[in-house]
Amino acid sequence: MPDFSLSEDYQDLVDTVHEFADEVVAPASVKHDEEHSFPYEIVKQMGELGLFGLPFPEEYGGMGGDYFALALALEQLGRVDQSVAITLEAGVSLGAMPVYRFGTEEQRRQWLPMLTSGDALAGFGLTEPEAGSDAGGTKTTARLEEGQWVVNGRKEFITNSGTRISRLVTVTAVTGAVQRADGSAGKEISTILVPTDTPGFTAEKAYNKVGWNASDTHPLTLDDVRVPEANLLGQRGRGYANFLQILDEGRIAIAALATGAAQGCVDEALTYAKQRQAFGHNIGHYQAIQFKIARMQARAHTARLAYYDAAARMLAGKPFKTQSAIAKMVSGEAAMDNARDATQIFGGFGFINEFRVARHYRDSKILEVGEGTTEVQLMLIARGLGL
């Protein structure tokens, strides 16, 4: 029989991050959410705990762990503050991981130590005004000129791109044309490492978002940005394929974050149901509330099993694209559904931002959109079935 219990090392990590989330992250959440301020002090402490280095080898400043360890940490952070959790998720799986997966040894040694320590953040520059789910619609261009890439274009919704510790954005750009099998012309898409202090690189005004208010998200403008030819990340023309791999892995991380959000809603609703009195009993006495919370717990449990399975397949070197899509879809919907139900249980208090369920209600919607919409996940699952 499969054993879904955690090893001692994994459980110790869960316990450590759980305590950190409750004692450090949660108390600061209301302030940062209300002020739309980036939690630099929390990021620093996460770096000191080694969370940014969890899945990377020690030779690059990492903790020598694996992707599942990162997912477990994200679940615990996602319980109490999705903004903090997405800062870690994007910093690792979207920021540092492309450098580790596809970078040269020189690129790894230049960038990874500062990224795995949490002293610096990197962004994932894929989405554009007309290229989101259809990333093949990329219009940003990069041309070689006297040993330099000259990059021009715009990017949208780029996390970790405009903080005072943001140092790097990996940018997808059209670097030429290719001939498809049917004879038609297609785009050669490559990835370029662009330091944020490069002239012509501008992180525009931060978005005024519905949720994830303490997460840093900006549109980017690249106006004749010049970087060395050596800043090509991976093989020329493989940028799109490489980023699809990064997204497959990243969906496991996002699923873990969403599972944490779903479980956080259960925990908050359960506590409230045992305390809130109505008609002579606490509201947890009534079957209507009991059944609502029971369904919430079932969703969180199912989401957790889904991302555990996808992570296990990934670490075993088995195909996991379909499973990561399932995990991402199931967990995102669980987070949104649980946030709605928890808000209903809290009644009027669920509409007050200082309560965690209200923040989960605002935050969770993006979990059905970011890093691949629910519709994209359904498309990937259908393809996995041979449709």
CA dihedral (90, 369, 255, 343) positive or negative: positive
**Backbone dihedral region for residue 280 (phi beyond 0: left; psi -120 to 50: alpha; all else: beta):** left
Answer whether 324's CB lies under 8 Å from 255's CB: yes
Over the range 134-145, which residues count as b (16 or more CB within 10 Å of their CB) and which as e? ebeebebbbeee
Q: List for the chain the helix, strand, coil content (%; round to 5).
A: 55, 20, 25
> How far is residue 379's CA from residue 387's CA, in Å, rounded to a whole number?
9
| Helix axes 239-275 and 287-315, enclosed angle (nearest 10) | 150
* Paired residues of 169 in beta bridges: 123, 194
Nearest Cα residue to 135 out of 159, 157, 168, 161:
157
Given the residues 34, 59, 371, 375, the one annotated as active site = 371
> How far is residue 308's CA from residue 301's CA, in Å, rounded to a whole number?
11
* 75 is an active site residue: no
Distance of CA 111 to the CA centre of its chain: 20
Q: How many CB atoms lie within 10 A of CB 31?
A: 12
Nearest Cα residue to 300 out of 274, 339, 273:
339
Residue 198 DSSP one-character state = S
Catalytic residues, by residue number, are 371
